[in-house]
Structure 1
């Protein structure tokens, strides 16, 4: 490969540049994004289904026992956001869990088996879920659980959600971030904050998951009005899909939003609602715009690589490990940086993406060609 206008005999004292690779945000064209927003009263379920699973039903509601109320998700105008939003309703009586369970109740939306492939988080992908929500002042959560968001597995060990945001009654009431590695294991409570910090206030959540047995997870929840963060958590090495559990692997992970709460202590509950807006699902084989650290323009020498890649001195000083991905987003090289010369003779010819790590925090990716 030749770069027009570059003299290959020219030596730059700093990096021996053959090619300057500009930092890129999304290296794979397979990355896809969908958004879901309210567009006005009426046909609400039809709108939700048309985005999350065209031709199918992604709404889980209690209308089998409470048809007199009508639909438990409506589109209403919100004066704070100055637009239509979704409002999810739940009633202590007679609502239950779709005439299946009577010790709990739910009204939720989801992606699932019948959703398009780009809405199913599969092994090797990075998914980003974004949404806004508003818990009304005085909301009464269950002492057991009131999930407002779940990341669930499909196939294999899929009983318990992998990640949940749940509201819990206490002194004070809390919002918890919970994690279950396997359904047979106990729940890890990774983070909790007082509900009073955001009751009656629109919040924005951004959740990014790299799907692997040694994946990454991060979530940030901020106030929409002033950008103040009320909850933030990240983990650079966490199992985000269950593989080989019970001899059957998960086929994908999927999100859910709404109200899913226990009725075991229903005397403490009330008829309630939560507003949601600005749903977004973005999936790709390598979503490098979601990595948490940055590097300036990086020069790799030589590029294209024949057998050995020579790392710049700045990389040696700043980073401790290197990752190389193929165009399917598969991690094919992962090793500590111990020498400026990296033997890549075992790689086939083609395009690759290189990122660097320091203390398990990964940079954005840059292109590399292998002869």
Structure 2
């Protein structure tokens, strides 16, 4: 594949939004085969969840063997879920080079700030699923929304949880010819 795309958007998680130790994906880069079938696990997610009982955002990568790697969790960075994430407008920038030896750059910045809340910079990361057919018709699509596990319904709100999204930008970054 070896193409690079950039994604920008803003989002705000409701002040009462509940997460559990299971996944609540808010953003996904999802591989799709040439037959239109999604690959079971997303390549990359921004996920709300709890680690060691502390709520936060997790950036996760899944390789072609379905091995999950936590690239970061905001609780490990001392970022407070209740005051720095919930109820705050955050702006996200993602640059992904889709390749079997791809790269991922991500920053999440409070709206109006120039200092990111957190960044991710991964090189030589698997961001392409060639599949057994190696088809050039395979692709990766971004997904936004609330995609969550219902394995702990008691830990979720009885009513609806809300996340607001705004100002989406998607563009392919063209290679500069030498």
Per the normalisation by structure 2, the TM-score is 0.85
Deviations 1:39-92 (A, max 9, x none): xxxxxxxxxxxxxxxxxxxxxxxxxxxxxxxxxxxxxxxxxxxxxxxxxxxxxx
Consecutive unaligned residues of structure 1, counting only runs of 5 or more, are 1-122, 289-351, 354-371
Q: Give every structure 1 segment of 4 or more consecutive aligned residues whose post-TM-superposition deviation is greater than 3 Å.
A: none
Partner of 1:42: none
Q: What secondary structure, in the 3-state scheme, does the structure 2 residue paired with 1:191 have? A: strand
What is the total number of aligned residue pairs between the two structures?
164
Partner of 2:42: 161
Partner of 2:105: 218
1:49-198 superposed matches below 5 A = 123-155=1-33, 158-170=39-51, 171-182=53-64, 184-194=65-75, 195-196=81-82, 197-198=84-85
Cα RMSD after superposing both structures:
1.8
What is the rounded CA distance, in whole Å, between the counterparts of 1:173 and 1:228 in structure 2?
A: 22
What is the rounded CA distance, in whole Å, between the counterparts of 1:135 and 1:242 in structure 2?
A: 31
Consecutive unaligned residues of structure 2, counting only runs of 5 or more, are 76-80
Q: Is the 8 A contact 1:155 1:248 kept in 2?
A: no
Larger % of strand: which? 2
Per the normalisation by structure 1, the TM-score is 0.42
Q: Greater relative contact order: 1 or 2 (C-alpha under 8 angstroms, separation 6 or more)?
A: 2
- 1:229–1:158: structure 2 CA closer, same or farther, 3 Å change rule? same
What is the rounded CA distance, in whole Å, between the counterparts of 1:138 and 1:169 in structure 2?
A: 15
What is the rounded CA distance, in whole Å, between the counterparts of 1:155 and 1:180 in structure 2?
A: 16
User: Greater CA radius of gyration, 1 or 2?
Assistant: 1
